[in-house]
C-alpha cells in the first residue's frame, strides 16, 4: 500500500492525503479523519526512502562503533549508550544506522555516510587527543556530537563528556585521605581522551596531597576482565605493592577483585579499590549496597543526552551544544582506611 493507492481508494489527491497525514492545516477535519482511518486500516506507513528523498531529511542518525585496535573487541559500553540514545530517537522519529568498524576505517565511514546522505547526523565515539574525525565532519558539514572530548582541539564542536579529570582527582584524594600512600591507576588505553584525562586527574590528586606519582603504578590497556586480573597480579607482586587502586571500569574491577581474592586479600580491609562505573545494566555495582566504591556516571544517560543534543543541532546548526556531566563518588565496601604501617596484610 502506497500513497497513490491510498489516495485512489479514498478518491482524493495524493497531495491531500499526504497533508492530512502530516498534520497540515489546510485539510478539512472530516477529510483528515477519513484519511487517517484508512491509513490505519491498511497499516499504511510512508516509504522511508521516498520520504527521505523528497524531504531531504533521512530521519536517521549514524552511530559508529569502534572495534578495539588489534583485538577488535567491542566494548559493552556502546550497547548501553545506544540503548539510551535510542530512547530519544524513538520519541523523535529517528532511526539508527549502525556501523561497526576498525579505527583506521572510521574516517571513511563518516565520509561515506555524508556522501551517501543516509543520515542527518552522527555520534562520534571514543575521540583521541587530536581526533581527525572532528575536522573531517566539520568540513563535510555533517552535524555531529562527540561522546567525550578531543584534548588538543579547540572547544568549538558539540560534545557530551564526563568530567573525568575531576572524578579521578576526587577518587584519588579520597584514597589518600584514607591514609593510602601507594596508589595504583589501572587505566584504559591512554591514546583515548577519557583515559588521558583520568590519568591527569589521578596525578593531580596525588600532587594535591603532596604525593609523587610512580610510573610503575600506572597501567593502561584495553579494559577487560582479564586485564584487571593480570594487572592486579602484577601490582601485588611488586616488592612494595600499592595498598589502594583506582581503575577505569567495573569490568576491570571484577578482574582485579578476582586476583585479590586469589591472593587472599579482602577489598575494603586489606586493600582499597575505587572503580569508575558506567552503570552498565549487566554489571550493576550492587543494587542495594555498593560492592565497589565508585565514581559513577550512567553511560545510558549520556546516550540519551547526546541524542537530544544531536537532534537540536540538526534542527539548528551553527551553535555547538556542550554538556559536562559530573561523576558521583559513591562509597561502597571496597575502600577502607590504610593500615598504619602502609602494608596490605593484616
CB of residue 148 vs DNA: minimum separation in angstroms?
A: 33
Query: What is the CA angle 100-103-104, rounded to 5?
Result: 120
Check residue 112 for interaction with a copy of itself (CB under 8 A).
Answer: yes
Among a copy of itself, DNA, none, the one that 342 touches (CB under a kind-dependent 5 to 8 A) is none
Is the CB of 86 or the CB of 293 nearer to a copy of itself? 86
- Own/partner contacts of 161-164, CB < 8 Å, gap of 24 or more, are 161/194, 161/323, 161/324, 161/325, 162/194, 162/297, 162/302, 162/324, 162/325, 162/326, 162/327, 163/324, 163/325, 163/326, 163/327, 164/194, 164/197, 164/198, 164/201, 164/327
**How far is the C-alpha of 96 from the C-alpha of 84, rounded, in Å?**
12
One of 36, 99, 301, 322 touching a copy of itself (CB under 8 A): 99
CB of residue 277 vs a copy of itself: minimum separation in angstroms?
A: 12
Please answer whether residues 160 and 313 qualify as being in contact, where contact means their C-beta atoms are separated by less than 8 angstroms: no
Interface stretch with a copy of itself, choices 144-152, 210-218, 275-283, 320-328 (CB under 8 A): 275-283
Among DNA, a copy of itself, none, the one that 101 touches (CB under a kind-dependent 5 to 8 A) is a copy of itself
| Residue 5: C-alpha distances to residues 10, 14, 17, 44, 257 (Å) | 9, 9, 11, 10, 64
- Closest Cα to residue 121, out of 308, 298, 325? 308
Is the CB of 98 or the CB of 216 nearer to a copy of itself? 98
Interface stretch with DNA, choices 10-18, 131-139, 225-233, 234-242 (CB under 7 A): 10-18
Check residue 43 for interaction with a copy of itself (CB under 8 A).
Answer: yes
Binding residues (CB under 8 A) for a copy of itself: these are 1, 43-50, 52-53, 58, 60, 63, 65, 67-68, 71-76, 78-80, 82-83, 86-87, 90, 95-101, 111-112, 115-118, 223-226, 251, 254, 257-258, 261-262, 280-284, 286-287
Amino acid at each position: 500500500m502506497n500513497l497513490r493507492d491510498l489516495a485512489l481508494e479514498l478518491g482524493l489527491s495524493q497531495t491531500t492525503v499526504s497533508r492530512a497525514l502530516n498534520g497540515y492545516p489546510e485539510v478539512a477535519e472530516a477529510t483528515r479523519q477519513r484519511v487517517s482511518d484508512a491509513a490505519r486500516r491498511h497499516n499504511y506507513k510512508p516509504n522511508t526512502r521516498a520520504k527521505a528523498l523528497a524531504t531531504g531529511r533521512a530521519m536517521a542518525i549514524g552511530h559508529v562503533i569502534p572495534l578495539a585496535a588489534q583485538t577488535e573487541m567491542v566494548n559493552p559500553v556502546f550497547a548501553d549508550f545506544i540503548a539510551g540514545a535510542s530512547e530519544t530517537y524513538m520519541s523523535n522519529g529517528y532511526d539508527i544506522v549502525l556501523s561497526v568498524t576498525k579505527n583506521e576505517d572510521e574516517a571513511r565511514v563518516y565520509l561515506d555516510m555524508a556522501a551517501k546522505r543516509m543520515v542527518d547526523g552522527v555520534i562520534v565515539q571514543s575521540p583521541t587527543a587530536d581526533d581527525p574525525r572532528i575536522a573531517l565532519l566539520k568540513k563535510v558539514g555533517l552535524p555531529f556530537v562527540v561522546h567525550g572530548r578531543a584534548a588538543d582541539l579547540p572547544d568549538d564542536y558539540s560534545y557530551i563528556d564526563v568530567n573525568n579529570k575531576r572524578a579521578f582527582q576526587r577518587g584519588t584524594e579520597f584514597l589518600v585521605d584514607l591514609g593510602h600512600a601507594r596508589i595504583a591507576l589501572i587505566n584504559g588505553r591512554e591514546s583515548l581522551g577519557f583515559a588521558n584525562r583520568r590519568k591527569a586527574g589521578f596525578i593531580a590528586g596525588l600532587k594535591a596531597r603532596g604525593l609523587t606519582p610512580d610510573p610503575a603504578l600506572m597501567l593502561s590497556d584495553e579494559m577487560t576482565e582479564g586485564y584487571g586480573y593480570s594487572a592486579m597480579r602484577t601490582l601485588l607482586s611488586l616488592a612494595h605493592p600499592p595498598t589502594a587502586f583506582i581503575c577505569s571500569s567495573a569490568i576491570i574491577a571484577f578482574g582485579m577483585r578476582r586476583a585479590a581474592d586469589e591472593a587472599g586479600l579482602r577489598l575494603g580491609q586489606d586493600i582499597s579499590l575505587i572503580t569508575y562505573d558506567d552503570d552498565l545494566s549487566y554489571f550493576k555495582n550492587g543494587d542495594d549496597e555498593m560492592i565497589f566504591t565508585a565514581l559513577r556516571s550512567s553511560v545510558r544517560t549520556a546516550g540519551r543526552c547526546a541524542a537530544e543534543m544531536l537532534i537540536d543541532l540538526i534542527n539548528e546548526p551553527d551553535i555547538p551544544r556542550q554538556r559536562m556531566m559530573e561523576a558521583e563518588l559513591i562509597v561502597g565496601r571496597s575502600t577502607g582506611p590504610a593500615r598504619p604501617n602502609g602494608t596490605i596484610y593484616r
